[in-house]
Amino acid sequence: MNPFFGRSNMTYALMRMSFGVLFACHGAQKLFGVLGGNQADNTLMWVAGVIEFAGGLLIAGGFFTSIAAFLCTAQMLVAYSTHLDDGLIPAQNNGELALLYAFVFLYIATKGSGIWSLDKNP
């Protein structure tokens, strides 16, 4: 069966870049207090901001993508674990975004950079 619209490589690249930029924006909020966010006030949040900002940019640009995405997956699973005090189900504990990022980044980590990437790794 043919992929939807027959452009799966382009669709994957757009997804990788979109999620990377959005994740970098989360990091920018923590690091710089921009985009409506609050600047990190403790070391753990600052480290999370660095991983989000740098990891998001690497994923968006397609450079060391698998490594960056795997690290971001781990961070999002740790972030989700902080929601578990409010219940196991993501809809109840407000952890949907963390799980969504975790599974998308896991997919990106296994698939690699793809087309339109700085390291040209199809």
Confidence of residue 111 (pLDDT cuts 50, 70, 90): very high
pLDDT of residue 38: 87
Give the rounded percent of residues in the chain with a pLDDT score beyond 90. 80
Torsion of CA 91, 100, 73, 86, to 10 degrees: -10
* pTM recorded for the entire structure: 0.90
pLDDT tops 60 at residue 59: yes
**Are 95 and 66 a contacting pair, CB within 8 Å?**
no
69 closest CA partner among 25, 28, 101, 115: 101
Q: What is the pLDDT of residue 8?
A: 84
Is the pLDDT reported for residue 122 higher than 70? no
Mean pLDDT is lowest, of 50-54, 104-108, 115-119, for 115-119
pLDDT of residue 34: 94
